[in-house]
A and B are shown apart, each in its own frame.
Chain A
């Protein structure tokens, strides 16, 4: 398995501000992903965090709004920029260790509320 931590675990932010969420894994992983779970909804993939290069974003998500970094094989950050109340969600980091078809592990999530 993989031990994944996220910081912060929760935050309340004002609209127009930005928040950076950190994801730390206890050992090197092949792939890292960022998901969003809006209230009462399922998980939606935001992007794949690529080590040393720009993230790969899913349809409907853009780098200006959700800049992502992955400087090494165990760490990634997601920034939610210029926040609005619609950004209130749980943001989850997930990782795959080994082959890309291996099990995907999820972090505990960051609960973001935008007022």
Chain B
């Protein structure tokens, strides 16, 4: 079955510390992986997708098919990074467009 697992509900770090939000997936085909972010009182928005292989707001994520993981990393956390982060999966070759979301991790960056 398709599944996305984010093992941490809350991750609390100090400003300037490295951050890693974990995401593991279960999928037999070729998935597309995404990270979505929801800042306080804002709507859910795309942060990055694995096929773009880009860095957004200092965040990067590498798809590791061997470990079925797509962890989100940032070397130096900023207070404005405090938000809810969701990892999501979409069938790579499907035309359905459907997303499967993980449970979400709240990132709290303390001053």
Q: Report if A96 contacts B (CB, 8 A).
A: yes
Given contacts A48-B98, A96-B97, A100-B97, contact A41 B45 (CB under 8 A): no
| Complex-state Cα separation, A4 to B100, whole angstroms | 21
A106 touches B86 (CB 8 A): no
In the bound complex, residues from chain B placing their C-beta under 8 Å from that of A41 are: 103
Q: What is the total of A-B residue contacts with beta carbons within 8 Å? A: 45
User: DSSP class of A's interface residues: helix, strand, loop or mixed?
Assistant: strand
Would B97 and A33 count as touching, CB distance under 8 A? yes
Chain A interfacial residues counted at CB < 8 A: 21
| Interface set of A (CB-CB < 8 Å, partner B) | 30-31, 33, 41-45, 48, 92, 94, 96, 100-101, 103-109
A-B contact pairs, 16 of them (CB 8 A): A33-B98, A33-B99, A42-B86, A42-B103, A42-B104, A43-B44, A43-B86, A43-B99, A43-B101, A45-B98, A45-B99, A45-B100, A94-B99, A105-B45, A106-B44, A109-B43
